[in-house]
Structure 1
Amino acid sequence: MRTTTVARIAERIGARLEGDGTAEVGPDVVIDTRRATSGSLFIALPGERVDGHDFTEAARVAGSRAVMATRPTDADLPHLLVDDTREGLPALARVVVARERDRGMVTVALTGSSGKTSTKDLLAQVLEDHGPTVSPVGSFNNEIGVPLTACGVDEHTDFLVSEMGARGKGHIAWLTSIVPPDVAMVLNIGTAHLGEFGSREAIAEAKGEIVEALGPDGWAVLNAADERVAGMAPRTRAHLAWFSPDADHRHPEADIEVWAGDVVADDLDRHSFTLHARVDGTTCEHPVSLRTLGAHQVANAVAAAAAALAALTSATGHRPDPAAVAASLSSATTRSPMRMELHERADGLVVVSDCYNANPDSMAASLAALGNILGRRRAADPHTRGVAVLGDMLELGPDAPALHREVGALAARSGFDLVLAVGEHAGDLAAGARAGGAESRVVTVEEAARSIGWTSHDVLLVKASRALALERVAEQVLDLGGPSAAGLDFDGRPAVGEHEEARK
């Protein structure tokens, strides 16, 4: 946010001020004392295990200039007192976003059952080549992560990218009240978290709230290859932009249309394709060579391209250059940790860590990508062994046992020789793998890394929902050192958004 006085913030959000109102605060807004900077505003959020109010003095020592809290604390700082800091944070974000939108900042919101974070990272890198851009760290897509990210914009920001998850009806509508979108994108409607929603139709109903938030001058960016997403078109007054991973779902009547053709992959399953883009009746073709792994990244890339073209149109009022978008996609890298991270040990062992999130769709995409890598490596090295350390997919409801067995069977069909299964549904994963013809074992997370003798011929996939912290397995196999500090927020509390992928 722009640097301003504490009194001004209190006035704008209706907080009661205690202390020096002339103190200037900003630009950073933080909920973690370790991320406090000189002049920052510390938000004292309650947590499941600790309370941010107990760390306001630590925030002061770290440089914070003011505190938002529900009660006075021992910190010698101005206090913005609100009834609930979980409501005070979004109230502040609404004010910050509204001010920057009034001067021309473009907001892009995206949702979907899978692929949001990867697509968000690609889109942010495309937009950064056209102007200062703020986008979430990791998957900050819930009621805390969305406003916290939004508070990062200032008078220099041209684009704000907001990733939005949902745990039920009305959640995305509430998030769009914080970040009203100029461009809203829906990637897909999958089987993730059926336990919360009950059906794909219910998921579509909730996700579609994002396009209902658009005004008539906005852009709805929709997946033409997903019938439930395509069915959202009547729910918006905005312009339509369509994307598809192939040419089989054309919408030649739309103002913007993007699709992929001539898709090929290298030996590490990085895909190249021809980006076809039609904007204002003009069609062009440009090559794209992705640096990210997996065929599913082609769909993510064309989605990012369509959203970028819509955002650039909103920002300038003119037809953007698809060639520049294609060039940006070709230089984009994986930004968020634990998402298809490729590592190679000195002896040649390959590890892909994809353990931030897991649902049936993302499991299928990861297994397919690693299956392709296994096939190519076996052509050069017949001793190649494929090992998958797989864990629970959370919140799938009564279908969870069957869905875990299907994933185990899919691992076998994808070419994995051995499945090491962990978590509550380890038995189901292992049973599915055995039924598919692969060897399988039920192990603990602690046992997974040392349960077999690793060799230079191994290709390892580590994949589960975030709660299992399977990155520890990848670190031990690669000998990267001690446990990762990722996933912790202020003073040991689970990080903001840690489980939002499992909740949407």
Structure 2
Amino acid sequence: MIALSLAEIAEVVGGQTHDIPDPSVQVTGPVVRDSREAGPGSLFVAFAGERVDGHDFAAAVIEAGAVAVLGTRPVGVPAIVVDDVQTALGALARHVVRRLGATLVALTGSAGKTSTKDLIAQVLRRKAPTVFTPGSLNNEIGLPLTALSATDETRFLVLEMGARGIGHIRYLTGLTPPKVGLVLNVGSAHIGEFGGREQIAQAKGELVESLPSEAEGGTAILNADDPYVRAMASRTKAKVLLFGESGEGDVRAENVRLTDTGQPSFRLHTPSGASDVTMRLYGEHHVSNALAAAAVAHELGMSADEIAVALSEAGSLSRWRMEVTERPDGVTVVNDAYNANPESMRAALRALAAMGRGRRTWAVLGKMAELGDEALAEHDAVGRLAVRLNVSKLVAVGGREAAWLQLGAYNEGSWGEESVHVSDAQAAVDLLRSELRPGDVVLVKASRSVGLESVAQALLETGAEGEVSAR
């Protein structure tokens, strides 16, 4: 964080200082909510949760070098006391962002936010110091913490914004007002909470409504291939830049193909030129993510050649998102178990099909959460798609939704041993351990609550031990 005195922080958040001998002492380190991350010069934010109360760790964080605690009550060590910690955290982030000389880029969408954010960050940091959301900490707590990690040297601040309902993104943009806003897509993720795609589009479009006008330097970057997103052009005063695989994008891809290993290659076109890209990431869905990142980079002054080189060298920065690992026996494990929705599930299955040309493929799939009334139809459709893509074997893991996956595959023509429904992750591991052969490709994917990353981890540990069926 930029250096601020405790007195200044107290004034910004409307708090009272307690047990602070010298209010001129500065916070020079990070702002953290995990006591294990506290260190010299840091500020510890004490949230009182259902199971853990951060105030109980006050003495430990001061001993670790933290300058003070931001909390809701005195704790016997230097503290700034406020009525509401989350509100205070947001006020502090808003103050710091206003003082930064950085360009703030915000992005949202139903699918691909984290992967695209990671691409944008890897491209922009070739141009100037860049701070970006770690993982998918994109809510009212994670976003201000990310903003507060910026320093005086930061030139680009890239923030992922999530939403669980109308008004959430409006709140986040109020804390960290962006100059460049990117909307990726409007899909089925959280449709059960929102009630429909129109409501999702309304919520996501709050981002472009927050942007400054074109005369003030604001730019809305919109997906030309998504009609819900493209329609958001009428909701902003900012300049509009379109990206997409169609010919209508200002930033677009031509000659898209997948390599023999399932990695996308294409000709990138921007208003400033064209250049070839071959990505390290897996799956054709990353083409759209790459175009979105390229549009942001173009708007911030990078050439087509610079962007193409950066995209070609970019990797995955966030765990359990199409993590591809080959075991010593030749079995390839694709861990995409961080989360799942219908769009990302279809993309992952298509990536599996591309990676598995000439090899046996396994799709180990579980529940897609928060789909509401669409849940049965969407799980059925994913099961059917696995059959249409000639996935060798579908392993549906879990309860009712997994049964719907397997039923979709059965109704599509998977009548033999091509699909199976198992009760839990351990049953899936046991099945795979007994039936995997060298050279097989295994995709593991479900919503985060299912915890299927344990299956991928078990398979990798099995491979390291050399325990694999040779059948």
**Alignment TM-score > 0.5, same fold:** yes
* Aligned mates of 1:132, 1:422 — CA distance in 2: 43
Specify the alignment match of 2:274 in structure 1.
285
* Aligned mates of 1:417, 1:443 — CA distance in 2: 20
Unpaired stretches in structure 1, ≥5 consecutive residues: 251-256, 314-319, 379-383, 483-504
Specify the alignment match of 1:38 in structure 2.
40
Which of structures 1 and 2 has the larger relative contact order (alpha carbons within 8 angstroms, sep 6+)?
1
Closer, same or farther in 2 for the Cα pair 1:11/1:358, shift >3 Å?
same
Specify the alignment match of 2:30 in structure 1.
28
CA offsets, 1:414-438, max 9 Å, x none? 2222222223312111211222313
- Give 1:289 deviation, angstroms: 1.1
| Within-5 A mapping of 1:197-276 | 197-216=194-213, 217-247=217-247, 249-250=248-249, 257-276=250-269
| Within-5 A mapping of 1:64-83 | 64-74=66-76, 76=77, 78-83=78-83
* Residue of 411, 415, 425 corresponding to 1:435: 411
Residue 350 (str. 1) matches residue 332 (str. 2): yes
* Aligned mates of 1:439, 1:177 — CA distance in 2: 48
| Within-5 A mapping of 1:122-133 | 122-133=119-130
Aligned residue for 1:419, secondary structure, equals strand
Closer, same or farther in 2 for the Cα pair 1:481/1:47, shift >3 Å?
farther
- Give 1:134 deviation, angstroms: 0.4
* Residue of 429, 454, 458 corresponding to 1:449: 429
* Aligned mates of 2:210, 2:455 — CA distance in 1: 42
- Give 1:5 deviation, angstroms: 1.7
* Aligned mates of 2:245, 2:118 — CA distance in 1: 18
* Residue of 373, 396, 401 corresponding to 1:398: 373
Aligned residue for 1:155, secondary structure, equals coil
Closer, same or farther in 2 for the Cα pair 1:48/1:435, shift >3 Å?
farther
| Within-5 A mapping of 1:178-189 | 178-189=175-186
Residue 307 (str. 1) matches residue 300 (str. 2): no
Aligned residue for 2:281, secondary structure, equals strand
Unpaired stretches in structure 2, ≥5 consecutive residues: 465-471
Specify the alignment match of 1:294 in structure 2.
283
Give the residue type in structure 2 aligned to 1:73. V
Closer, same or farther in 2 for the Cα pair 1:57/1:423, shift >3 Å?
farther
CA offsets, 1:362-386, max 9 Å, x none? 0000000001112x2x1xxxxx322
Aligned residue for 2:251, secondary structure, equals strand
* Aligned mates of 1:109, 1:460 — CA distance in 2: 34
Residue 338 (str. 1) matches residue 314 (str. 2): no
Q: CA RMSD in A?
A: 1.6
How many correspondences in the alignment?
452
* Aligned mates of 2:274, 2:40 — CA distance in 1: 48
Aligned residue for 1:450, secondary structure, equals helix
* Residue of 91, 103, 108 corresponding to 1:106: 103
- Give 1:62 deviation, angstroms: 2.8
* Aligned mates of 1:48, 1:325 — CA distance in 2: 45
CA offsets, 1:323-370, max 9 Å, x none? 211111111111111000000000000000001110000000000000
Specify the alignment match of 1:14 in structure 2.
14
* Aligned mates of 2:24, 2:303 — CA distance in 1: 46
CA contact (8 A) 2:360 2:392 kept: yes
Specify the alignment match of 1:52 in structure 2.
54
CA contact (8 A) 2:383 2:408 kept: yes
CA contact (8 A) 2:329 2:463 kept: no
CA contact (8 A) 1:117 1:336 kept: yes
CA contact (8 A) 1:219 1:240 kept: yes
Residue 193 (str. 1) matches residue 187 (str. 2): no
CA offsets, 1:449-476, max 9 Å, x none? 1123122132110001111221111110
Higher alpha-carbon deviation: 86-95 or 419-428 = 419-428
CA contact (8 A) 2:89 2:144 kept: yes
* Aligned mates of 1:477, 1:299 — CA distance in 2: 31
Closer, same or farther in 2 for the Cα pair 1:291/1:35, shift >3 Å?
same
TM-score normalised per structure 1: 0.87
* Residue of 460, 479, 498 corresponding to 2:442: 460
* Aligned mates of 1:30, 1:423 — CA distance in 2: 36
- Give 1:300 deviation, angstroms: 0.4
Higher alpha-carbon deviation: 58-67 or 340-349 = 58-67
* Aligned mates of 1:13, 1:172 — CA distance in 2: 21
Higher alpha-carbon deviation: 192-201 or 110-119 = 192-201
CA contact (8 A) 2:323 2:336 kept: yes
* Aligned mates of 2:58, 2:79 — CA distance in 1: 10
- Give 1:481 deviation, angstroms: 11
Residue 149 (str. 1) matches residue 146 (str. 2): yes
CA contact (8 A) 2:13 2:82 kept: no
CA offsets, 1:44-79, max 9 Å, x none? 1122321212222232233222100001124x3x10
Give the residue type in structure 1 aligned to 2:388. R
CA contact (8 A) 1:44 1:51 kept: yes
Specify the alignment match of 2:114 in structure 1.
117
* Aligned mates of 1:296, 1:48 — CA distance in 2: 38
TM-score normalised per structure 2: 0.93
- Give 1:135 deviation, angstroms: 0.3
CA contact (8 A) 1:13 1:95 kept: no
* Aligned mates of 1:89, 1:46 — CA distance in 2: 14
Specify the alignment match of 1:487 in structure 2.
none
Give the residue type in structure 1 aligned to 2:306. A
* Aligned mates of 2:115, 2:462 — CA distance in 1: 24
CA contact (8 A) 1:475 1:481 kept: no
Specify the alignment match of 2:467 in structure 1.
none
State the identity as a percent: 48
* Aligned mates of 2:398, 2:63 — CA distance in 1: 41
Aligned residue for 1:63, secondary structure, equals coil
